[in-house]
Amino acid sequence: MARKNTWANPAVAVVLSFFLTACTDTKTVQENEQLKAQVAELQRENGQLGNNLETVTAARDALTKENEALKAEMRTRKTKRSAKKISSRKRRRGQRS
**What stretch of H or E contains 1?**
none
Task: Work out the number of other CB atoms within 10 angstroms of the CB of residue 38.
Answer: 10
pLDDT category at 36 given cuts 50, 70, 90 is very high
pLDDT category at 1 given cuts 50, 70, 90 is very low
In whole angstroms, give the CA distance from residue 45 to residue 19: 39
In whole angstroms, give the CA distance from residue 87 to residue 79: 12
Please give the model's pTM, rounded to 2 decimal places. 0.47
pLDDT at 45 over 90: yes
Query: From residue 70, how far is each of 13, 36, 52, 61 by CA, in Å?
Result: 83, 51, 27, 14
